[in-house]
Structure 1
Amino acid sequence: MESKLSRNEAISQLVLASSSPRRKELVASLDLSLPVYILSTDTDESIEAHWSPEQVVEQLSLRKANAALDLLQQKQAVETSLIIGADTIVVLDGDVLGKPVDDDEAKAMLRRLQGRAHEVYTGIACVLSSSGEAQLAHRMTKVKMKPLSEEQIARYVATGEPRDKAGSYGIQGLGSTLVDEIEGCYFNVVGLPLSLLSDMLATYDIAVF
């Protein structure tokens, strides 16, 4: 890994490569001295069958960050930006559960998750706009969901909350009532592990406090 000094190229802004309002709120909560811009990207989320969960979240987060880098270059942005990409998945029995394609798939996911423990992985990619240099990392949190009846699952899915959530639930919303316990970083389950992100930002001499 390069030293802090060689990485610190007068970064003038952070760019969050995400359309997630949850990630936007979490980055804003750090109250960083740099301006933070949101740049939504449409990226290919296909994965290789042999990838581990760690590879899935790190590679997809890098794909998002690089897509944002391409957009910045098209706009001929001259500021040195640090681009942050993130991706979250739920893993049960080795199967990756992403966002449901419809309410029926959301119900099917919740049937599998109810009464059992699963893992939530979030990957973070930090990419310097000036060089394209990338730093990748991830966190894993174990989550145990309480047993749910078919009626509870149907009512929760009817709220619409599961539609854009990996694993078909949002722990920061009504989904909090489905969870019995977690082991690890709560914000990792929300979609952006702040402790990990702050450590990564520190390597660019960006201090949270």
Structure 2
Amino acid sequence: MQPLILASRSPRRQELLKQVNIPFETMPSDVDESRYPKESSPTQYVETLACAKADHVLQQHPGRIVLGSDTVVVIGDKILGKPRDTEDAREMLKELSGQVHSVLTGVAILSDDRRTVFHGRADVRFYQLTDEDIQHYIDSGEPFDKAGAYGIQGLGAMLVEEIKGDYFTIVGMPVAQVVRAWRSFSQ
């Protein structure tokens, strides 16, 4: 069987697939995420983006199995993607400080004749952060390519007081769900 195609540049998603021994190749999708309205529900948003990324790569590689994924942080009804700049990261971290938020990761596994689309969810409570905490984290450079301006698998772990749900969803892929869905494609 041919390896799965991961339609993502994310080193975290690559690490997770390696961890569970799913053979894969990486062929990032160049889907313009700004085309998709954040006014839809957060679950619709992440699932739609995951599908768009997988569809884009599948069109270039028919006959293959493609996995697309997208992660967002949601606080209240507001979707937080990746910060645009330092000030945007600062505002996101201030908004998350001392609060519970949800992390949603949409997944689409597509082939020419099958589609499986789902999402994982985890709730995260941040400690109350001082301005110094936030500045120290921003100075690390870590917030800038992460939804919600933090990465739980790195220095961002220091911000987290509590998690309810699947840790791997927060990292970027609900691994157990992905393994089960992928197996159904490979049978």
Identity of aligned residues (%): 40
Deviates more, 1:197-206 or 1:59-68: 197-206
Larger radius of gyration: 1
Alpha-carbon distance change, 49 to 166 in structure 1, aligned in 2, over 3 angstroms = closer
Aligned partner of 1:59: which letter?
T
Aligned partner of 1:141: which letter?
A
Corresponding residue for residue 103 of structure 1: 86
Deviates more, 1:162-171 or 1:41-50: 41-50
Runs of 5+ unmatched residues, structure 2: none
Instruction: State the distance in 2 between where 1:117 and 1:147 align.
Output: 11
Deviations 1:186-205 (A, max 9, x none): 00000011011012113224
Residue 106 of structure 1 and its aligned partner are, at CA, apart by 0.2
Runs of 5+ unmatched residues, structure 1: 1-10, 74-79
Q: Of 93, 96, 118, which residue of structure 2 is paired with 1:137?
A: 118
Instruction: State the distance in 1 between where 2:169 and 2:109 align.
Output: 16
Deviations 1:113-148 (A, max 9, x none): 0001000000100011x33x3210001100000001
Corresponding residue for residue 71 of structure 2: 88
Corresponding residue for residue 43 of structure 1: 31
TM-score, normalised by the number of residues in structure 1: 0.85
TM-score, normalised by the number of residues in structure 2: 0.95
Matched, 1:60 2:60: no
Q: Is the 8 A contact 2:58 2:65 kept in 1?
A: no
Q: Give the total of aligned pairs.
A: 186
Corresponding residue for residue 195 of structure 1: 176
Aligned partner of 2:75: which letter?
L
4+ residue stretches of structure 1 with deviation over 2 A?
46-50, 70-73
Corresponding residue for residue 169 of structure 1: 150
